[in-house]
Amino acid sequence: MERFETGVLMKTKGKVLILGVLTIVSVFTTLVHSHCQIPCGIYDDAARFVEMREHVTTIEKSMTLVQALSAEAKPNMNQLVRWVMNKENHADALTEIVTYYFMTQRLKPAEPTDPKAYGEYVNQLTLLHRMMVEAMKAKQSTDPDTVANLRKWIDQYEAAYFKKTVAEHTHVHSDSAGEHSHTY
């Protein structure tokens, strides 16, 4: 009997140890994935805009596939759930860039005593908030207007952030799929 209790105790301790290691790995992975909040001075703003656009494109593809799978006579529920989760994960990732990168690290508050700087600050803050709201809406629906709004707010924020007009940094290029316009 004592040998049985010792074996059960050892298995329980092993499971707790494995669970602890997995928890630590999960936390470490999350910390490594996100941009640190220590002012390291290593920023690649243009890459963040590219990354945000990639998230929006993935959200759009996920929405399209959710709609297509839902319309089937006998939908593959497993695939449907996977695409819904994919859409939600990319909306969360977009929100993380907006909040942890731009709002906490890059957007600097301005004093209301400086009307020009304060106006630019409020404009940028408003655009970031609009992106967060649209990302939330993307999680709640498959409305294509949400994707269009996300692209619009990203373009407007990028123009305000770099203080350029959208036309100054929109480039048209051709590839195998045809001619596309990208904003950088």
* Chain segment 101-111, per-residue pLDDT in tens: 999 999 999 99
| pLDDT value at residue 1 | 59
The stretches of the chain forming alpha helices (DSSP H) are 2-33, 45-71, 77-96, 115-140, 144-161
pLDDT grade for 42, boundaries at 50, 70 and 90: confident
Q: Which helix (H) or strand (E) holds 175?
A: strand 170-175
Which CATH number does the domain housing residue 120 bear? Answer: 1.20.120.400
In a domain, 8, yes or no: no
| pLDDT value at residue 43 | 77
Q: Which residue carries 């770099």 as its tokens?
A: 162
> Which residues 6+ apart lie within 8 Å of 86 measured at CB?
58, 62
Q: How many domains is the chain partitioned into structurally?
A: 1
Higher pLDDT pick, 37 / 161 = 161
Mean pLDDT of the chain: 82
In a domain, 80, yes or no: yes
Domain with 131 in it: 42-171
In a domain, 28, yes or no: no
- What is the model's pTM? 0.70
In a domain, 36, yes or no: no
Q: Which helix (H) or strand (E) holds 183?
A: strand 178-183
Question: Per residue in 44-64, pLDDT tens?
Answer: 899 999 999 999 999 999 999
In a domain, 183, yes or no: no
In a domain, 164, yes or no: yes
Share of the chain above pLDDT 70, in %: 66
- Does residue 113 surpass a pLDDT of 70? yes
CA angle in degrees (0–180, nearest 5) for 154-158-164: 140
Higher pLDDT pick, 35 / 124 = 124
| pLDDT value at residue 176 | 44
In a domain, 29, yes or no: no
Question: Per residue in 61-83, pLDDT tens?
Answer: 999 999 999 999 999 999 999 99
In a domain, 9, yes or no: no
92-104 burial: b if 16+ Cβ within 10 Å, else e: ebbbebbeebbee
Average pLDDT over residues 34-42: 60
